[in-house]
């Protein structure tokens, strides 16, 4: 059989990189060349004819064993403890709290290899929920795993693992989340453990080539995407392209977790994807936030005249107002949740009098929060009103509306704190003073509304 010449091999490596995005390493090239000759012998053609066929059809079955050699299947449960602790102590509790109304979560492990990472997410989710006193039986939970290697996906679906996969894993995991397999019918399963059925019911697996123009029907709105040790095999351009596509699959304030060795999103990716770096103890994560140009587009759209459930009318035209410093009279009250669960403008987008867009940026989450109140979508209302309160901390209406949402979510202590903050902001102002939005809404009307709500809370606290 004729051998491939060096220049032909170089063209082959370029072809494989174009199909998979993965740059073959020197050891991989040796294995790949050997496998190409084996496949050509099986197909009864020359290696050059085989390559031409792959150029014409990148989905050819004969190409699959070649592409499998490009992936490295090295992983284990609870990999990189600092990142797992950030998920366990910070991110997953936040996601569970935020999803408490809709009871819906979507997590995705990109490049899941043999599946240990996917099942780690399932275990951590169950553990965190138990600590928070949340029963997940009636929740709509999907944890997706995707990989380029078909053989890996078969192993994922079996969910059977041996001792090496448990290195560095908490001691109780094998007893609590797995069942031991001891059988003479299948010797390869001896001294192995299979993931418990109650966790496997959450999990889905799908083949994915990150370089494909169209991705399969994976979750479109993820709360958390984990993509670790994947982009280290891509060139810089493809890496940043993947980050931008993944960001499009995140829900607002959703999280992206990369591996410690993965290159971070660059300035262009941050600008176009809305990813914001967050620091935790020993770990870095990326959070999706709204973009200024997206906000500007929506703020230029026709605004709506909205009415809150308490009957307070909100005019359709809301003039800008420069936020003052945050009040500290109620030290236990903070409308923003863990890790500033809102649009974070503190580092690169400081609000200044010279910036008209940034002066108005709080109007959009306010209007979206009011719309959510109208349709009784309390979770979305809470999210947007927190964003507005972060940007415009000294407007009493925002805290009044947050108090109403907390009442609906059966959180009377938080509702009392928000309503008290509203009254505190109203206290130095005249009863007949308009709140800066024309003559429609006056201080006295809002003071009466907040007082009535506080009175109704007394029996609940």
pLDDT band, residue 183 (cuts 50/70/90)? low
Average of per-residue pLDDT across 107-116: 96
pLDDT in the model for residue 306: 35
pLDDT digits (tens, 9 = 90+) for 276-288: 899 988 899 999 9
Question: Strands 192-195, 178-181: parallel, antiparallel or unpaired by DSSP?
Answer: antiparallel
HSE-up (13 A, CA, CB side) for residue 224? 32
Q: How many CB atoms lie within 10 A of CB 136?
A: 17
Measured CA to CA, the distance from residue 329 to residue 306 in angstroms comes to 30
Report pLDDT digits (tens) over 400-421: 999 989 888 888 888 888 899 8
CATH of domain 294-457: 1.25.40
Q: And the tokens for 343? A: 């649009």
Q: What is the C-alpha to C-alpha distance for residues 204 and 78, in angstroms, rounded to an integer?
A: 19
pLDDT band at residue 444 under the 50/70/90 scheme: confident
Least confident of 68-77, 196-205, 266-275, 437-446: 437-446
Residue percentage of the chain with pLDDT more than 70: 80
Rounded Cα gap, residues 386 and 406, in angstroms: 11
- How would residue 189 be classed by pLDDT, with cut points 50, 70 and 90? low
Residue 439's SS3 state is strand
**Which of the four pLDDT bands, split at 50, 70 and 90, describes residue 299?**
very low
The residue ranges of every structural domain in the chain are: 6-68, 81-289, 294-457
Q: Please give the average per-residue pLDDT across 441-448, as a whole number.
A: 80
* Model pLDDT, residue 187: 54
DSSP-derived secondary structure for 100-156: TTT-EEEEEEES-TTTHHHHHHHHHHHHHHHHTT---TT-EEEEEEEES-HHHHHHH
Q: What is the mean pLDDT of residues 134-163?
A: 94
| CATH class in words for 81-289 | alpha beta
With both helix axes pointing from N to C terminus, report the angle between 443-457 and 412-426 in degrees, rounded to the nearest 10: 150
Percent helix, strand and coil across the chain, each to the nearest 5: 45, 15, 40
Higher pLDDT: 373 or 321? It is 373
Beta carbons within 8 Å of 136's beta carbon, 6+ residues apart: 125, 126, 129
In this prediction, residue 6 has a pLDDT band, given cuts at 50, 70 and 90, of confident
Residue 370 has what pLDDT?
Answer: 85
Asked if residue 188 has pLDDT above 70, the reply is no
pLDDT at 399 over 80: yes
The DSSP bridge pattern shows strands 275-280 and 283-288 to be antiparallel
Q: What is the pLDDT of residues 351-364, one digit of tens each?
A: 333 333 333 467 77
DSSP state of 337: -
pLDDT attached to residue 307: 36
pLDDT score recorded for residue 316: 34
Query: In the prediction, which pLDDT does 293 show?
Result: 43
How distant, in Å, are the alpha carbons of 192, 388, 457 from that of 113? 18, 41, 51
* CA atoms in the 13 A half-sphere facing the CB of 381: 24
* For residues 364-371, average pLDDT: 82
pLDDT digits (tens, 9 = 90+) for 113-128: 999 999 999 999 999 9
- Whether 329 shows a pLDDT value over 60: the answer reads no
Supply the pLDDT for residue 313: 38
Tens digit of each residue's pLDDT (9 = 90 or more) over 335-352: 544 333 333 333 333 333
Distance linking the first and last C-alpha atoms of the chain: 84
């Amino acid at each position: 059989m004729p051998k491939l010449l060096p220049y032909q091999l170089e063209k082959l490596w370029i072809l494989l990189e174009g199909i998979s995005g993965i740059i073959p390493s020197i050891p991989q090239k040796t294995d790949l060349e050997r496998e190409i000759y084996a496949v050509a012998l099986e197909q009864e053609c020359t290696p050059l004819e085989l390559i031409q066929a792959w150029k014409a059809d990148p989905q050819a079955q004969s190409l699959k064993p070649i592409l499998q050699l490009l992936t490295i299947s090295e992983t284990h449960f609870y990999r990189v403890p600092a990142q797992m602790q950030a998920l366990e102590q910070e991110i997953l509790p936040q996601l569970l709290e935020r999803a408490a109304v809709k009871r819906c979560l979507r997590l995705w492990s990109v490049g899941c290899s043999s599946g240990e990472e996917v099942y780690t997410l399932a275990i951590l989710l169950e553990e965190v929920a138990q600590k928070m006193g949340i029963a997940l039986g009636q929740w709509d939970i999907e944890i997706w795993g995707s990989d380029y290697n078909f053989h890996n996906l078969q192993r994922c679906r079996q969910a059977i693992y041996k001792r090496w996969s448990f290195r560095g894993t908490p001691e109780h995991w094998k007893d609590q989340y797995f069942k031991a397999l001891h059988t003479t019918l299948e010797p390869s399963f001896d001294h192995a453990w299979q993931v418990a059925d109650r966790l496997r019911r959450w999990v889905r697996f799908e083949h994915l080539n990150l370089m494909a123009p169209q991705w399969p029907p994976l979750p479109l709105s993820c709360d958390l995407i984990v993509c670790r040790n994947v982009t280290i095999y891509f060139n810089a351009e493809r890496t940043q392209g993947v980050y931008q596509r993944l960001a499009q699959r995140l829900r607002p304030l959703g999280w992206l977790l990369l591996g410690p060795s993965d290159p971070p999103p660059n300035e262009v990716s941050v600008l176009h994807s809305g990813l914001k770096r967050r620091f935790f103890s020993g770990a870095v994560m990326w959070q999706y936030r709204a973009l200024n140009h997206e906000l500007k587009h929506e703020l230029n759209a026709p605004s709506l005249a909205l009415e809150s459930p308490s009957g307070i009318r909100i005019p359709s035209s809301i003039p800008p107002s420069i936020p003052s410093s945050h009040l500290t009279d109620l030290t236990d009250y903070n409308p923003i949740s863990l890790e500033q669960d809102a649009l974070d403008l503190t580092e690169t987008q400081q609000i200044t009098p010279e910036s008209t867009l940034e002066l108005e940026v709080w109007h959009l989450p306010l209007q979206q929060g009011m719309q959510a109140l109208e349709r009784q979508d309390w979770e979305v209302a809470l999210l947007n009103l927190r964003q507005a309160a972060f940007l415009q901390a000294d407007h009493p209406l925002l805290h009044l509306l947050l108090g109403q949402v907390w009442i609906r979510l059966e959180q009377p202590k938080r509702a009392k704190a928000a309503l008290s903050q509203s009254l505190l902001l109203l206290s130095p102002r005249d009863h007949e003073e308009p709140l800066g939005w024309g003559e429609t809404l006056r201080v006295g009307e809002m003071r009466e509304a907040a007082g009535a709500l506080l009175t109704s809370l007394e029996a609940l606290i």
